[in-house]
Structure 1
């Protein structure tokens, strides 16, 4: 099993506190930012920041669908960590000041990939989908900040 890591980073217009607040709003803003590859999204518990539990279906391909139930934590200032309780899938959202009232947002998604031939294809193609997902969330976030 190989560890797979996908990072997407973007500078957006908006103070870090505002950007982190939007990302932490799982019951409102985040529910509207997911792209079409996320379906059946729901807040299981909480809804704002650490302690929130979310569930959704991640459509990696038309036939490969992963059920995700993530617990959100805030391991440090400016960071939200969504940890799937059923697998090694983790997405960490980090927000830091970027000057002139902007913020740099980093989405780092990691998981333990499969071995063998399946693992080769997962390592080759899954990062494309994860980048698409992270960029779609950031596109929606940018639109809300305007």
Structure 2
């Protein structure tokens, strides 16, 4: 078993405060950013920033579906952490100033399986996760 770490970044033409405002809006904005391979999205508690709890199903393939039940925290003013309560999956959103705009970094980590299954997970899961967050950031770029 080993740590799997996927990082996706994008520069946006908007102030960090505006970007973070959109990213931390789990009621209105977040459902609009998610691609079609993310289904059954729900806000279970809260809705804006820390204290929010969300759930969704992410369809990595037709047969591989991950159920996520995440709780949101904010360790600092530029960061949101979505910690899955069902697994070691963690997604960290970091929004920092970059020139006249922002740089958004989405980092997803989890402890992968061992053996042959772990080999395939380490090989193919990053492709799907990268595709998911690239689509979300592209959708976010159209909103700012």
TM-score (norm 2): 0.99
Separation in 1, partners of 2:13, 2:26:
21
User: CA RMSD, aligned part only?
Assistant: 0.6
TM-score (norm 1): 0.97
Paired residue for 2:53? 53
1:61 Cα deviation (Å)? 1.1
1:77 Cα deviation (Å)? 1.6
Separation in 1, partners of 2:52, 2:128:
25
User: Could you list the per-position Cα deviations for residues 100-121 of structure 1 after superposition, in whole angstroms to 9, with x for gaps in the alignment?
Assistant: 2x00000000000010001000
1:99 Cα deviation (Å)? 1.1
1:32 Cα deviation (Å)? 0.7
1:76 Cα deviation (Å)? 1.1
Paired residue for 2:140? 141
Separation in 2, partners of 1:2, 1:92:
19
For residue 75 of structure 1, give the secondary structure of its aligned residue in structure 2.
Answer: strand
Question: How many residues matched?
Answer: 144
Separation in 1, partners of 2:119, 2:5:
14
Paired residue for 2:117? 118
Say whether 1:130 aligns with 2:129: yes
Structure 2, unaligned runs of 5 or more: none
